[in-house]
Amino acid sequence: MRVICMFPFALAAACGGARAAGETTAQPAETTTVTVAPPPDAGAPLAAEADAQAPAPEALPPARPTTIRLASTTGDAVDQELDRGDAAFEKNDLDQARARYEAAKKLGPRRAGPIVGLARVRIAKTNAALDYGAAKGNAEVAAGARELKAAVAMQKDYGPAYAELGRAELMIGDASGALAALRRGAELLPNDPEAQSALGVALLATGQKNEALAALQRATSLDPGSAPRHGNLGTVFLLVGRVDDAVKEFELQARIAGDDARAHSDLGTALLAKNELQRAVGELERAVALDATRASYQTNLGYAYQLLGRRADAIARYREAIRLDPQFASAWINLGTALAQDPKTRADARAALMAAKKIDPTDPRVKANLEELDALEKAKTP
């Protein structure tokens, strides 16, 4: 039987304010099917030894704001209101941000910045995910995109307008328009990590992994103290097969954000890809200790236990994941693979796999594991 490890990496939100960094997802990593193998004989490096190779968090500069600054370089009254609006948006105080952007618009009716700020707030208030096509058909996001197009027409060399327009167009499903706007925004804002990150997220969402990697590397170099940026970069490294580089970025993410469950989950699942099982278990256990409510964390910890031969512990984690999210197909599949290892529980294994099939009848993983279970049952028949 094959056990399925989801490795559910997701990019952190490329937007401050209403989208807390690290919470909004873009394209997930590809599902990986792995044959269960016995643990390696050699012990994996201790986590403390690996951490010692990465720079200490205190040696890194503070993370930069995730809200693209709308003010120009004049420092006039309009810019002061825009800065106040940006500060409120960064804190997710959308009503205060809108008030400050409205004040800026009254002072500078021909400036693009206030229009961008108001459109930014309008879109954020929808709470729509920043994923590709997540706001398709959303009238408010579409209206915000139209306002941003007006800002671009008003001031054709204004980078923030292009960056925010690109994100809005990505949300409503206009991939070509989004990429064109985000490329221009990144060109006009070469030293803004959020503009580079927004482009990287969009490139990844549209399947352009290598270009996404370059953009996210630029973003991380501009903002090395940001844990989510290291996490984003690690995710793309993993997607392009550079596992060692991915682990290094996830180690930095976990060191900067030591109490962030997602950071430890990311590192743990990347370590699984390297077959560093003992270290992986430690990180995944830390993720679950910090946030026991995430089904994906429970499932990945169960997968690590299963690789180590701790079948009972794996089953317990899979069952907890299912309790948390009964529609999480991978937890059902993994439960089925664990139960199938014992002839006494193969009926329960089939029931688990059938539950996964009910969730998604087209999932090829279910079909493959049911076929293997059929083979096991046939082999034991005289």
pLDDT of residue 36: 33
pLDDT digits (tens, 9 = 90+) for 72-90: 878 899 999 999 999 999 9
To which residue do tokens 């990590």 refer? 193
What are the DSSP calls for 10-57, one per residue? Answer: -PPPS--TTS-TTTS--SPPPPEEEE--PPPSSPPPPHHHHHTTSPPG
Q: How is residue 342 annotated by DSSP?
A: S
Tell me the domain boundaries of the chain: 77-188, 294-382
Yes or no: is domain 77-188 CATH 1.25.40.10? yes
Give CA–CA dist 369/352, Å, rounded.
11
pLDDT digits (tens, 9 = 90+) for 114-167: 999 999 999 999 999 988 999 999 999 999 999 999 999 999 999 999 999 999
Res. 180 pLDDT band, cuts 50 70 90: very high
Segment 311-323 mean pLDDT:
98
**Is the CB of residue 37 less than 8 Å from the CB of residue 307?**
yes
**Is the CB of residue 1 less than 8 Å from the CB of residue 17?**
no
pLDDT of residue 377: 86
pLDDT of residue 15: 45
pLDDT of residue 53: 57
Whether pLDDT at 45 is above 70: no
Number of residues that this document lists for the chain: 382
Helix (H), strand (E) at residue 3: strand 2-5
Helix (H), strand (E) at residue 2: strand 2-5
CATH-assigned architecture of domain 294-382: Alpha Horseshoe (1.25)
What are the DSSP calls for 178-206, one per residue? Answer: HHHHHHHHHHH-TT-HHHHHHHHHHHHHT
**Is the CB of residue 281 less than 8 Å from the CB of residue 306?**
no
Q: What percent of the chain has pLDDT over 90?
A: 80
Burial profile 214-252: b = 16 or more Cβ within 10 angstroms, e = fewer: ebbbbbbebbbbbbbbbbbbbbbbbbeeebebbbbbbbb
pTM of the predicted model, to two decimals? 0.83
Give CA–CA dist 60/256, Å, rounded.
9
**Is the CB of residue 297 less than 8 Å from the CB of residue 287?**
yes
pLDDT digits (tens, 9 = 90+) for 250-309: 999 999 999 999 999 999 999 999 999 999 999 999 999 999 999 999 999 999 999 999
**Is the CB of residue 148 less than 8 Å from the CB of residue 154?**
no
pLDDT digits (tens, 9 = 90+) for 128-143: 998 899 999 999 999 9
**Is the CB of residue 304 less than 8 Å from the CB of residue 269?**
no
Residue 368 CB contacts under 8 Å (≥ 6 apart), including other chains: 2, 33
Whether pLDDT at 323 is above 70: yes
Quick check: do 77-188 and 294-382 share a fold? yes
